[in-house]
Amino acid sequence: MHIRTVGAGPPIVLLHGWALHGGVFEPLLQRLHDRYQLHLVDLPGHGGSRDSDLPLALQPCVDEIAARTPDAVWLGWSLGGLFALKAAAMLPQVRGLVMLASTPRFVQGPDWPDAVEATVFAQFARDLEQDYRGTLDRFLALDALGSEHARAELRRLRAALHAGGEPAPRALQQGLQLLARSDLRHLLPGLPVPSLWISGRRDRLVPAAGMQAAAASAPASGFLDLPRGGHAPFLGQADEVAARLADFVGGLPA
């Protein structure tokens, strides 16, 4: 698995969303590399890990990342939040958790209304087999939809995707299965580390209400809703996300 390390200071592990790679966090890297050591992970099948033999599954990925990074705060965006939450609940080397436009459960259920319909990810899985590149582009458009800076964010997401190379189709299908089937809500009440939950109020994939509900279930948690943010607030609201992340890391016990 490819992990790029940049900067010096308290370590932060950053985990990207579906179809992207660690390079998508460039706006945060620009704002934080002079104060923090950033570990930008490319999950299996994505970016520099495109040819990795590791399956895109929670436990194998968490174990591999943990073996290759120091004690750190783990930040997960979208799909990456599932890996970060799993690690925070199980590994003593995780000092804090940041869930960025992410949730322990991405699909609706009888007791979980603030999420997308289960058919959304199933449709993307079918579409991938018919129109691989078109489906990727539609998903990136959904990432940016609603944001105050939607067009600029979509350009950044497309540029990041092309810069890192096309993700492996097998990994994309595995990622959609994770989004559709994972439910990590049971980990929240016993979460042993502080957590920060950052939502975009205009997010069309992860409703802010669902993130707020998840944060309320975890001890020592904080919740921040960005009124003009979409699903990728670290692009359109990079200054605010970086500032709140720095505040969170600085407030953790030594």
Active site residues: 78, 203, 231
Burial label, 183 (beta-carbon count in 10 A; 0-12, 13-18, 19+): middle
Provide the terminal-to-terminal Cα distance of the chain, rounded to the nearest Å. 29
Query: Which residues, listed in sequence order, are joined to residue 99 by a DSSP beta bridge?
Result: 76, 197
**Distance set, CA 250 to CA 17, 187, 242 (Å):** 25, 25, 12
Positive or negative, the CA dihedral 238, 243, 247, 250 is positive
Q: How do 94-100 and 11-15 pair as beta strands?
A: unpaired
Burial per residue of 129-157, b for 16 or more beta-carbon CB atoms within 10 angstroms, e otherwise: eeeeeebbbebbebbbbbbbbbeebbebb
Query: Reduced to 3 states, what is the DSSP secondary structure of residue 66?
Result: helix
DSSP 96: E
Can you tell me the distance from the alpha carbon of 134 to that of 122, in angstroms, rounded to the nearest whole number?
16
**Distance set, CA 190 to CA 38, 163, 184, 186, 252 (Å):** 27, 39, 12, 8, 18
Can you tell me the distance from the alpha carbon of 203 to that of 146, in angstroms, rounded to the nearest whole number?
6
